[in-house]
Amino acid sequence: MIEGLSFTPYRRTFCQTLRTARGIWAFREGFLVQYSAGGQRHLGEVAPLPAFGSESLQQAAEFLTEASTNGVDPWRLQSLPACAFALSAVKPQYAAETHYPVAGLLPAGAAALPILSRKIKEGFIRFKWKIGVEAVSYEIEHLLRMLAATPDTVRLRLDANAALSCAELETWLQALSAHRHRIEFMEQPLAIGMEESMADAMQQFGIAIALDESLTYANYRERIHTWLGPLVIKPVLMGAVSEQARELAPVASRVVLSSAFESRVAIGKILALAQSLPQLTYALGFDTATAFEDSLAFKLDRASLVNQPLSEAEARVIWDDLRV
């Protein structure tokens, strides 16, 4: 039972604005929550992104305001996945230190190549590059340069954020055919609702296509069992951790846990989910540690995320900093 809930908002400015096919992203907003459950105090994070199927910031604020006064209504949480994640009473129990490999995040366009070279020296061998921002021919040209300039062991994920047309996807896949061993997958090239076209393209060209935007809290339980490619899951948007663990266990080998630019408060619960899915094979999509420079930022150990839980003292400092 959840008791004594209180919350505080945060607004974090990106060190560098993020360019995606959806446009410019300059800051991240959410809430930290404190509550008691099972005789222990918990710190959680509500980091909604309605474009990815969660509740809005306003809906989360309205729920938290009501819950802080009248208590948590579990029925309402069924339609508020970001709040449900934050209120998952998970206290990760780490039996041993585990390093989870992370895929490096590259900026869109020509700026990717120097960052790619630097990150390879830091230990990254998997990378995610945003496409669908420039003309297809321009992006393909830069991709070929990246492939030529990097070791054969480097693999790339190309994330279009649902921005490509069917013709553009075909152009991309034709260009990638000779380099398919270097492409880990393409991520959501077409719009939501075009899953059949993406499945046909995956079968025709033999290059894996991952679903991301198509996997919302409302429908991911159904789609994860029918899609044959990778499944990009943003845990902070998908409800209670225990429910996610149960739903994802049968398909864990195809799951790619991915960041929604949450803070280190959420990382502990995300790693608890990772520990419950030992069949995970893909590097985590959490190269967002340097996106912000504040008390909420987390750290990577070279190219990995380490299951070091947030201590109670650290939690108090974070909470007090935001409350000032």
Query: Which mean pLDDT values do the consecutive 10-residue runs of the chain (324 residues) have?
Result: 92 85 84 90 94 96 96 92 90 73 94 94 96 95 96 97 97 97 98 97 98 95 95 97 96 98 93 94 96 90 87 79 64
Q: What is the length of the chain?
A: 324
pLDDT of residue 97: 82
Nearest residue to 10 (alpha-carbon basis) of 289, 286, 308, 292:
292
CATH match for 99-309 among 3.20.20.120, 3.40.50.150, 3.40.50.2300, 3.40.640.10: 3.20.20.120
> What residues pair up with 306 in beta bridges, in sequence order?
99
- Quote the CA–CA distance of 185 and 156 in Å, as a whole number: 7
Instruction: Tell me what pLDDT residue 117 has.
Output: 94
Q: How far apart are CA 103 and CA 44, in angstroms?
A: 25
| CATH class of domain segment(s) 3-90+315-323 | alpha beta
C-alpha distances in Å from residue 218, one per residue of 202, 210, 228, 281 = 24, 18, 19, 25
> What does the pLDDT read at residue 190?
98
pLDDT at 93: 59
pLDDT of residue 227: 97
In angstroms, rounded to a whole number, what is the distance separating the alpha carbons of residues 283 and 296? 23
- Residue 55's nearest CA partner among 29, 33, 35, 37 is 29
Helix (H, G, I), strand (E, B) or coil at 247: helix
How far from the centroid of its chain's Cα atoms is residue 274's Cα? 13
Say which residues have a Cβ less than 8 Å from residue 45's Cβ, sequence separation at least 6. 30, 31, 32, 33, 85, 86, 236, 262, 263, 265, 266
Q: Where are the domains positioned within the chain? A: 3-90+315-323, 99-309
- Residue 94 and residue 117: Cα distance in Å, rounded? 34
